[in-house]
């Protein structure tokens, strides 16, 4: 491999000749050989956006000449497009402020910009990092990446799942089955009503995430080192937020309190709480689906789900609810990530949080897993759910909890006696009720209408 010599304030470093990074990136690359978790590409892209926005703002405020602005903007476009991803090699497990990743962006953009300009035009610190600090750029990149991941990847996946559940509701309207509480038989419920509960779980968590986006759209940029804005020109914070908004098509604003923006990560904790809530709801939905599909002969068997692949290497013909299992494992990982995000956010000492890389790594992994998991779950499982009407009807009429419909006519205690007699003697509720003398056979038939129990207000 061929090398070139790059210099920083600590001296010379050998850097691979075909890489755009320079000395500070190389030092980090050599000093933190920990794991293989590279800084998320969403952060790389966010750095491209914020560095371009900063250059445009500095130019507009008279702090950067047009030639430099143009070279920076062109190089940043390549960062945003992902064509320079191989020039961002640093792992998550580095300085807690993300300083080396900020310098990685500065060096790559400077060297690529110089190549574009055909001369030594740009300096990583003096030009690319002008009016900025790692302490305000990394939290800004975190927020940009989080907002874009949620709005552009997670929300579309959630919307598709919601639409599929709405379709299933309509298709299954009027099909009544046994409800279940405590894993025990309960009073009747329409299958469409059960599905509506699943749908509203996704809708509710989308609303919670939408609420959380307000805080994530506040940017720390302009606070520089400790929140005072040292070395940033007046109006820079507002202008750079406007430029980020223009570049992303999303409304970002400058954070009202930069001291808070640098040291606290509560907006990410709040937003990840909504991600955890979504994970919890998806865990519940996936578990419901696999329980209802259990069988095919010795389980509940009330729904059919798509059969995607063989389920056993030893039991021929076995097909398992693999999409449900995948979805629930995603949920477990997101719940675990929430611990890392929360603990990391609690480490804001004095003017800076120094757990930012691990916070955003876990946050973005959660969004990515949820988005991908929902797409797979919807496409390969939920969309193909079919009601087993015969099994639902059988289970419904075999349920002892239908006796609840008799409460207004024979009272709670007599209804309990009826259910216990029917269970003990393995006879029907009607036979037990008539045998106990609580109702005549004719009156029982008049008041006992299981399907209507799911719609008591009609």
User: What is the third-level CATH fold of 3-130?
Assistant: Fumarase C; Chain B, domain 1 (1.10.275)
CA distance 283 to 205: 13
The encoded tokens of residue 151 equal: 């709005």
- How many helices (H) and strands (E) the chain has is answered by 17, 10
Residues of the chain with CATH 1.10.40.30: 399-454
| Architecture (CATH level 2) of domain 136-390 | Up-down Bundle (1.20)
Which tokens hold the place of 417? 């006696």
Distance CA 269, CA 212 (A): 9
User: Long-range contacts of range 9-12, CB-CB < 8 Å, 24 or more positions apart?
Assistant: none
Read off the tokens for 16: 């691979």
Environment class of 215 (CB within 10 Å of its CB; exposed 0-12, middle 13-18, buried 19+): middle
Write the secondary structure of 315-336 as one string of H (helix), E (strand) and C (coil).
CCCCECCHHHHHHHHHHHHHHH
pTM: 0.96
- CATH 1.10.275.10 residue ranges in the chain? 3-130
Given a contact cutoff of 8 angstroms between Cβ atoms, the answer to whether 251 and 217 are in contact is yes
Please answer whether residues 54 and 131 qualify as being in contact, where contact means their C-beta atoms are separated by less than 8 angstroms: yes
| Nearest residue to 324 (alpha-carbon basis) of 368, 380, 276, 275 | 380
Asked if 91 and 39 touch (Cβ cutoff 8 Å), the reply is yes
For residue 423, say if its preceding peptide bond is cis, omega within 30 degrees of 0: no
Please report the pLDDT score of residue 301 as a whole number.
97
> d(Cα 90, Cα 102) in Å, to the nearest integer?
10
Which residue do the tokens 């399907």 mark?
451
Long-range contact set of residues 305-313: C-beta below 8 Å, sequence gap at least 24:
305/381, 305/384, 305/385, 305/386, 306/380, 306/381, 306/384, 308/380, 308/381
Residues 6+ apart with CB under 8 A from 417: 436
10-residue block means of pLDDT along the chain (458 residues)?
94 97 98 98 98 98 98 98 98 98 98 98 98 98 98 98 98 97 97 98 98 98 98 98 98 98 98 98 98 96 95 91 98 98 95 98 98 98 98 95 96 97 96 97 95 89
Boundaries of CATH 1.20.200.10 in the chain? 136-390
CATH topology of domain 399-454: Ribonucleotide Reductase Protein R1; domain 1 (1.10.40)
- In this predicted structure, what is the pLDDT of residue 1? 86
Using DSSP bridges, classify how beta strands 218-219 and 3-8 pair: parallel, antiparallel or unpaired: unpaired
Annotated active-site positions, please?
182, 312
């Amino acid at each position: 491999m061929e090398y070139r010599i790059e210099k920083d304030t600590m001296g010379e470093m050998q850097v691979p000749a075909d890489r755009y990074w320079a000395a500070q990136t190389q030092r980090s690359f050599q000093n933190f050989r920990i794991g293989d978790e590279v800084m998320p590409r969403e952060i790389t892209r966010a750095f491209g956006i914020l560095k371009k926005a900063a250059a445009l703002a500095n130019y507009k405020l008279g702090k950067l000449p047009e030639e430099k602005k143009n070279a920076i903007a062109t190089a940043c476009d390549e960062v945003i497009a992902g064509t320079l991803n191989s020039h961002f090699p640093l792992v998550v497990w580095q300085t807690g402020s993300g300083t080396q990743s900020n310098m990685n962006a500065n060096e790559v953009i400077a060297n690529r910009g110089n190549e574009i300009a055909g001369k030594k035009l740009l300096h990583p610190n003096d030009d690319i990092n002008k009016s900025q600090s790692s302490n305000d750029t990394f939290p800004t990149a975190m927020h940009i990446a989080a907002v874009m991941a949620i709005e552009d990847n997670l929300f579309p996946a959630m919307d598709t799942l919601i639409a599929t559940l709405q379709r299933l509701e309509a298709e299954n309207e009027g099909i009544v089955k046994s409800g279940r509480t405590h894993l025990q038989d309960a009073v009747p419920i329409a299958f469409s009503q059960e599905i509506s509960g699943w749908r509203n779980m996704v809708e509710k968590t989308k609303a919670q995430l939408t609420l959380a986006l307000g805080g994530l759209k506040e940017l720390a940029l302009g606070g520089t080192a400790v929140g005072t804005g040292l070395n940033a020109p007046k109006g820079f914070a507002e202008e750079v937020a406007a430029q980020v908004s223009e570049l992303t098509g999303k409304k970002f604003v400058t954070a009202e309190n930069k001291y808070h923006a640098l040291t606290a990560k509560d907006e990410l904790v709040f937003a990840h709480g909504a991600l955890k809530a979504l994970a919890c709801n998806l865990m519940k939905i996936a578990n419901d689906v696999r329980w209802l599909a259990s069988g095919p002969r010795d389980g509940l068997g009330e729904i059919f789900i798509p059969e995607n692949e063989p389920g056993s290497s030893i039991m021929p013909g076995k097909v398992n609810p693999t999409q449900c299992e995948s979805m629930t494992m995603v949920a477990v990982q997101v719940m675990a990530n929430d611990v890392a995000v929360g603990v990391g956010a609690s480490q804001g000492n004095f003017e800076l949080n120094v757990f930012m890389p691990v916070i955003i790594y876990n946050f973005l992994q959660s969004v990515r897993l949820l988005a991908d998991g929902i797409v797979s779950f919807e496409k390969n499982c939920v969309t193909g759910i079919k009601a087993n009407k015969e099994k639902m009807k059988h289970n419904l009429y075999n349920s002892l909890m239908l006796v609840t419909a008799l409460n207004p006519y024979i009272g709670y205690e007599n209804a309990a006696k009826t259910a216990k007699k029917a269970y003990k003697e393995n006879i029907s509720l009607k036979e037990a009720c008539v045998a106990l003398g609580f109702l005549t056979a004719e009156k029982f038939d008049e008041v006992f209408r299981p399907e209507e129990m799911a719609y008591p207000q009609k």
